[in-house]
A and B are shown apart, each in its own frame.
Chain A
Amino acid sequence: MDLSHLDLPFIWAALLAFAVLAYVVLDGFDLGVGILFLVEREPEDRDVMVNSIAPVWDGNETWLVLGGGGLFAVFPLAYAVILPALYPLMIAMLLALILRGVAFEFRFRATGFGRRWWDLAFCGGSVTAAACQGMALGGLLQGIHVENNAYAGGWWDWLTGFTLLCGIAVVIGYALLGSSWLIWRTEGSLQRRCRRHARALVTATLALIVVVSLWTPMLNPRFMHRWFGWPGILFTSPVPLLVALTAWGFWRGLALKHHLTPLLCAEALFVLCYAGLGISFYPSIVPPSISIWQAAAPDASLAFLLVGAVIMIPIILAYTGYSYWIFRGKISAGMHYH
C-alpha cells in the first residue's frame, strides 16, 4: 500500500494525541478513585470503589502503553529526548503505577496490617502517578533543552513552580473525574458524599484551569501569539466559552442529582483543556525546538504501523465499549469477598 502522499507525521500526531486523550479520559477516573481513598476510609466503601473499576482499569492503562510505545515507534527522537529529560518523574510514575496496579489484587488477599498497607499503596500510587503526569505535562510545556538530537539539560530542569502547579491540577482534576465516576456507579451514602466531593473539586479544578491557562502563554511567545494573535483568536476564543458552558452543565447535573451528567461534563472539561493544550503545542512535539516532522520516524515505519492502527483502533474501541457494557450498572455495597 502506498501511503507516501499523505502527511504521515501529522496523521500520527493526531492519532497519538487521541491515544493520550483516551488514556487521560479513562485512566483519569480510575486514578481519581484511588485519590479519593484519601477521604473515603470505610473498608466497605473502599471495596465498592475498587470494584467499580476492577474490570476496566487494565484496559485503561493500556492506552498509556500505546502512548509510550507509539511515541517510540513514530516519534523516536521525541521519545529519546522527553524520557531522559523527565527521568525522575517517569520513574516515579512507573513505580507508583506498579504499586497501585498490584494493590487491586493484593488488597483483597491481605488482611489486617497488610490490607491497610495495600490500601495505602493504592492511594499513594494513584496520587503520585497523577502528580507525575501533571508535572510531566508542565515540564514539556515549559520546554526542553535539546542539543544534537539529545537532551542537554540537568536532572531537575523540569522542577519549577509551573510544573508543581500542573501536578496539583492533574491530581485535583483526576479526583474530580473519580468522584463523578462514583456518582454514576454507586448509590446511597457513598454517592451522596461523592456529590459533595465533586462540588469542592470542580471549583478547585476550574480555578486551576484558569491559572494554568493564564500562565501557559507566558512561557513561550509562540503560545502567546497562538492564543491572542490574529487570526488565531478566532479559533482559540471558543475554548474558554465552552469550558464555562461545561462547568454550568456540571453544576446543573449535580444540583438535579443526575447520575451520569457530572461524569460526562467532567470528561468534557478534560477534552477541552486537552484541546487547549493542542492549540498551544502544535506543531511542536518537544517545545520549543522539535516539530512533529523533525521527530518523525521514516515514512516506511509510519505507514506500516498506520495500517495496523486504522484497523485495530476501531476494533479496540468496540470491544472496550462492550466490556464496559457488560460491567454496567450500580455497584452494590456489602458484598462478601472471601
Chain B
Amino acid sequence: MSLDALTLARVQFAFTIGFHIVFPAFSIGLAAYLMVLEGAWLRTGRQVYLDVFQYWLKIFAVVFGVGVVSGLVMSYEFGTNWSQFAYRTGPILGPLLGYETLTAFFLEAGFLGVMLFGMTRVGRGLHFAATCLVVLGTHISAAWILASNSWMQTPQGYRIVDGRFFPESWLAIIFNPSYPYRFAHMLGAAYLSVAFVVGAVGAFHLLRDRGNAAARVMFSMAMWMAVVAAPAQIVAGDLQGDNTLQYQPQKVAAMEGDWQRHAPGEGEPLVLFGLPDQQAQTNHDEIAIPHVGSLYLTHSWSGTIKALNEFPPGDIPYVPVVFFAFRIMVGLGLLMFGVGALGLLLRRKGRIYETRPFLRLVVAMGPAGFLAMLAGWTVTEAGRQPYTVYGLMRTAESVSPVGAAGVAVSLGAFAAVYLVVFSAAVLFLLRLMAVPPHPGEPGPPKVPQRSAGLTPGPAGAVEEPSPEPAE
C-alpha cells in the first residue's frame, strides 16, 4: 500500500477521532456521575458527596476542555480531507451536525462555566440545574453524532440527485435501523468506562488508606455501576451485533473471521484465536469452539451466516483489524463483567474494601473501558470499509482533491501537537487522581473571582452559605 493522499487522510482521521472520542465519552459518563453526586449531596447533606463531587469536578474540567478542542478539529476535517464526502453527504449529515451544535454544544458551553466556577456565585439549586444541563448537553450531543454515524452505516430516507444524497424523510434518516442499538451501546460504553476509572481511583486510595471515606464512596458507587452496566452493555452489544448481521453482513463475517460458509449441520464456530490472512482467505493457527458462534449469531445450534468469500473481494474490509479489535473488545467486556460480579460477591461477604488483590485488580482495570470502547469503534469503522456511506459511497471517492504531501505534513503536525497535548492531559489527570480525596475538597483551581468595582456582590443567591466548609 503506497502512502497516497487517501491512506494518509484515513490515518489522520483515525488518529484524530481516536484521540478525540475518549474525551467526550469520559465527559458523558463523568458528567452523569457528577450529577448523581451533587444530587446525593443536596438530598442527604452529607459532606462526603460534595467532597467526591469537587474531586471529580477538577478532573472533568481537564477532560471537557480537551474534548472541546479536539472536537473542533473534527468539524473542519470533513472539509479539509474529505471534501467530496462533504459535498455529497452535506445535505443530510450537515443538518444533523448543525443540530448537535445548536442543541448540545452551546448548552454545554453555556453552563459549563457555571458548573465549574459558579458554586459560590449562584444558589445550590441553580448550580445543580447547571450541572444537569451540562449532562443533558453531553447526551444530546451523543444522540446527534450517533444518528449521523448510524446513517452512514445503515443509510435510508435519502434520494440520490447527481450523485449527491438529498433528504427525503428526516425521521427515517435519524431513526435509521442501526441507530438505537449504536446509541445504547455507546452510552453504555461511556458509563462503564467512567465507572472503571472512578473505581480504579477509589481502589488506589483505599490501598493506601482503607478508611478514606471519599475513596470508599467512589469505589462502592463504581462497583455498583459495574454490576449494572457491564451485563447491560453485553446485552446491548449482542443486539447491535444482530442488527449488524442484518444490515452489514460482511462486517460480522470479518469479526468472526468467517471466510467460507460452513457445511450444513456444522454451524458457526467461535474462533477464539487465529491469524486471518486476507490473501489466502483463511485463518492460520485457528483455535475454535464449534457451534458456539451459531448460538450467539443465529440463536440456533447449527445456523450459518454469509461468509467473506460470498462477497466480491473489493467489497470486504481488511479482516485482521476487525477480527482482533472485536476480540479485544469482547475480552475486556467479559473481564469487566467478571470484576463486577466479583465485587458483588465480596460486598455480600462484607470485604469489598479490604480485599487487597481485588483492589489491585480494579486499579489495573482502570483503562479497560476506554480500551474496549476504542476497540469497539475500530470494529464498526474498519468493518464498514470500503465504504463511507455503506454500500453507496466508497471511501476512495470521498477524499479531497489535495496532494499527499500536504496531508502528510498536516498529519505530522497533528501527531506532534496531539502528542504534547494528550501526554500533558494524561499527566495532569494522573496527577489529580494521585492526590487522595479529603474532607473539604476544594473545587477547580480557578476559584471564581469576587466581584468588586462597577457591579459589586455575587450574583444569584447572596444569602447562600458557601458550600466550602470553613477550615
Known A-B contacts A72-B75, A308-B103, A338-B445; the reply to A99 vs B417 at CB < 8 A is yes
Residues of chain B lying within 8 A (CB to CB) of residue A77 = 87
Residues of chain B lying within 8 A (CB to CB) of residue A187 = 452-453
Residue of B nearest to A55 (CB): B113
In the bound complex, what is the Cα–Cα distance between A327 and B360 (angstroms)?
43
In the bound complex, what is the Cα–Cα distance between A329 and B401 (angstroms)?
50
**CB within 8 Å: A-B pair count:** 273
- Distance in angstroms from B179 CB to nearest chain A CB is 17
**Contact mask B408-420 → A, CB, 8 Å, 1/0?**
0010011001101
- Distance in angstroms from A59 CB to nearest chain B CB is 4
In the bound complex, what is the Cα–Cα distance between A325 and B457 (angstroms)?
12
Residues of chain A lying within 8 A (CB to CB) of residue B421 = 98-99, 102
Residues of chain B lying within 8 A (CB to CB) of residue A323 = 110-111, 113-114
Q: Is the CB of A109 within 8 A of B453?
A: no
Residues of chain A lying within 8 A (CB to CB) of residue B78 = 72, 79
Number of interface residues of B (CB under 8 A): 84
Residues of chain B lying within 8 A (CB to CB) of residue A149 = 87
Q: Is the CB of B456 within 8 A of A102?
A: no
Q: Is the CB of B80 within 8 A of A76?
A: no
Q: Is the CB of B101 within 8 A of A66?
A: yes
**Contact mask B452-470 → A, CB, 8 Å, 1/0?**
1111100110000000000
**Contact mask A289-326 → B, CB, 8 Å, 1/0?**
00000000110110011001100110010011011011
Q: Is the CB of A297 within 8 A of B106?
A: no
Within 8 A of A (CB), among B418-471: 418, 420-421, 424-425, 428, 431-432, 445-456, 459-460
Choose one: A56, A87, A91, A105; the contact of B428 (CB below 8 Å): A105
Q: Is A69 an interface residue (CB 8 A)?
A: yes
- Distance in angstroms from A88 CB to nearest chain B CB is 7
Q: Is the CB of B401 within 8 A of A151?
A: yes
Q: Is the CB of B75 within 8 A of A68?
A: yes
In the bound complex, what is the Cα–Cα distance between A71 and B402 (angstroms)?
20
Q: Is the CB of B61 within 8 A of A105?
A: yes
Residues of chain B lying within 8 A (CB to CB) of residue A322 = 110
Q: Is the CB of B117 within 8 A of A327?
A: yes
- Distance in angstroms from A99 CB to nearest chain B CB is 6
**Contact mask B265-286 → A, CB, 8 Å, 1/0?**
0000000000000000000000
Choose one: A104, A110, A309; the contact of B102 (CB below 8 Å): A309
Q: Is the CB of A79 within 8 A of B79?
A: yes
- Distance in angstroms from A284 CB to nearest chain B CB is 18
Q: Is the CB of B111 within 8 A of A69?
A: no
In the bound complex, what is the Cα–Cα distance between A79 and B97 (angstroms)?
14
In the bound complex, what is the Cα–Cα distance between A335 and B449 (angstroms)?
8
Residues of chain B lying within 8 A (CB to CB) of residue A313 = 102
Choose one: B80, B98, B168, B170; the contact of A84 (CB below 8 Å): B80
Q: Is A94 an interface residue (CB 8 A)?
A: yes
Q: Is the CB of B90 within 8 A of A79?
A: yes
Q: Is the CB of A62 within 8 A of B417?
A: no
Q: Is B403 an interface residue (CB 8 A)?
A: yes
Residues of chain A lying within 8 A (CB to CB) of residue B170 = 304
Within 8 A of B (CB), among A158-185: none
Q: Is the CB of A328 within 8 A of B105?
A: no
Q: Is B406 an interface residue (CB 8 A)?
A: yes
Q: List 15 other contacts, CB 8 Å, given A61-B109, A94-B76.
A: A58-B65, A69-B94, A72-B94, A83-B76, A98-B69, A99-B421, A106-B425, A110-B424, A155-B405, A187-B452, A297-B95, A301-B94, A312-B106, A322-B110, A326-B118
Binding site for B on A (CB under 8 A): 50-51, 54-56, 58-59, 61-62, 64-66, 68-74, 76-77, 79-84, 87-88, 90-92, 94-95, 97-99, 101-102, 104-106, 108-110, 149-152, 155, 187, 259, 297-298, 300-301, 304-305, 308-309, 312-313, 316, 319-320, 322-323, 325-332, 335, 337-338
**Please, could you name 5 A-B residue pairs with CB atoms under 8 Å apart, sorted by A?**
A73-B90, A83-B86, A110-B428, A323-B114, A330-B452
Binding site for A on B (CB under 8 A): 61-62, 65-66, 68-73, 75-76, 78-80, 83-84, 86-87, 90-95, 97-103, 105-114, 116-118, 121-122, 161, 166-168, 170, 400-403, 405-406, 410, 413-414, 417-418, 420-421, 424-425, 428, 431-432, 445-456, 459-460
